[in-house]
Structure 1
Amino acid sequence: MRTLILFRHAKAVRAHEADSDEARGLTGRGKREAALAGAAVEDAGLKPVLALVSSAQRTRETAEVGLQNFALETRIEDALYHAALEGIWDAFTASDAESVVVVGHNPGIGELVSTLVHQAHDGSKLAREFSTHFPTAAFAAFEIRGELLRAAGPRLLTAWKPDRD
C-alpha cells in the first residue's frame, strides 16, 4: 500500500500583484499556513519521501516552507500546473515512491480529494467538507491500494485545514 498526500498551495498574492499567474508567490498568511500544514503532516506521522510540485511559484514556495522538515526528493513538474485530477493521479501512479506528496492547485487537486473521499466512504465532518471545498494550505492523506483511479480502494488517513476563525 502507498500513501498519497494531496496538498493545495497556500494563499497566494492576487493576480494583479504578479507578472503572470504562474509567477504568483505566497502572501505572509500563505507562508504561515504552509508552515502550519507541514507541522500537521509531521504531527500526523506521515513521512513523504517524494514531493511532486507544480511549477507555479506559489506551489514551489508552499513545498519549500511546508515540507522543509522532511528529507525528500522534490520534482518540479510543469504538467501539474493546473492539472486535472487524472493528471495528478497519473503523476502519482507513475512514481514508485511509497509515500508521495503532491502540491498543486484547485480545481484538479480538490476534485481528486473529493473523488478519493467518495471512494473511501468516509463520513467524517472534515471528509464531507473536503468533498465540496478544498481550501488553500489544506492537505488530505490517503492510503492507496490500487493503481487505477476507479479501483484505488483508498482510505482517508488524515486531513487538515488552517483554522480561519
Structure 2
Amino acid sequence: MHRLILMRHAKTERAAASGLDRDRSLTDRGRADAAIMGRVLAEKGLRPDLALVSTSTRTRETWEVLQESFGDVEVRLEPTLYNAPQDVIRRFVEGAEEEAGCLLVLAHNPGVHMLAYEYLIESAASPGVMDRMAGGFPTAAAAVFEVDVAGRCAYDGYLIPKAFGGGADE
C-alpha cells in the first residue's frame, strides 16, 4: 500500500425508525457532502483499489455515493469496523497492506479520528497539522497518508466537506 485514506461517514439523521444506532441513514446534506468528497478525492488522484467499509447503514450509504466518483473498486463490508476503536481499525489497515495501492477505510468516530491522530504523532507531523486534526474530525472528513515500504504513515492531507462548499464543520 502506498496511500491510506481514513474517512468518517457522512452526516446522518439523529435517530432511525428502528431505534438502533447502526440503522441511522444519511441526511440530504450527508449525501451531498459524500458526493463532494468523492469528487474531491477522485480529482486529487485518490481513487482506492480497496475499500473497507463498516456495515452500518450510514457507512454503506456514504460508500454508495462515494463510489460514483471512483468507478469499480473492490469493497468489503466489515462488521467489526462498526464503532471500532483505533486499534481495531489499525489491524484492518495492517492486514490490507499488501492488497491495495490505495486503501480507503470508511468507519466511525472516535476510532477513525484517534487512529489518524496516532499516525500524526508517529510521523512527527508539524504542530499546525497536529492542531488542525486535534480540533475534530467532522462527518465525511478524510485524512490521507502516504505509506512507506515499512508501513509507516506520513500525513498527506486532511479534507473536510466545508473546505469544498459542503456542510458545516462539526
TM-score, normalised to structure 2, is 0.86
The answer for unaligned runs of 5 or more in structure 2 is 163-167
Partner of 2:36: 36
Contact 1:44/1:158 (CA < 8 Å) preserved in 2?
A: no
- Measure, in 1, the Cα distance between the counterparts of 2:128 and 2:149: 26
Q: Deviations for 1:101-149, whole angstroms, at most 9, x for unmatched residues?
A: 00000010010011112222222745522134111110011012266xx
TM-score, normalised to structure 1, is 0.89
SS class of match (1:97): coil
Contact 2:16/2:25 (CA < 8 Å) preserved in 1?
A: no
State the 1:16 CA deviation: 5.4
SS class of match (1:68): helix
Indicate whether 1:143 and 2:159 are aligned: no
- Measure, in 2, the Cα distance between the counterparts of 1:125 and 1:16: 38
- Measure, in 2, the Cα distance between the counterparts of 1:48 and 1:40: 13
Q: How many residues end up aligned between the 2 structures?
A: 161
Corresponding letter in the other structure for 1:143: E
Indicate whether 1:101 and 2:104 are aligned: yes
SS class of match (1:15): coil
- Measure, in 1, the Cα distance between the counterparts of 2:101 and 2:136: 27
Partner of 1:114: 117
State the 1:10 CA deviation: 0.5
- Superposed counterparts of 1:83-94, under 5 Å: 83-94=84-95
* Identity rate, percent: 37
Corresponding letter in the other structure for 1:85: Q
- Measure, in 2, the Cα distance between the counterparts of 1:65 and 1:7: 13
Residue 31 to residue 142, structure 1, CA distance change in 2 (3 Å): same
Partner of 1:66: 66
Indicate whether 1:57 and 2:60 are aligned: no
Corresponding letter in the other structure for 1:80: L
Residue 54 to residue 126, structure 1, CA distance change in 2 (3 Å): same
The answer for unaligned runs of 5 or more in structure 1 is none
Indicate whether 1:15 and 2:38 are aligned: no
SS class of match (2:68): coil
SS class of match (1:134): coil
Q: Deviations for 1:58-89, whole angstroms, at most 9, x for unmatched residues?
A: 00011110232212101100000001111111
State the 1:99 CA deviation: 1.0
Corresponding letter in the other structure for 1:73: E
SS class of match (1:156): strand
Corresponding letter in the other structure for 2:157: T
Corresponding letter in the other structure for 2:155: L
- Measure, in 2, the Cα distance between the counterparts of 1:14 and 1:132: 22
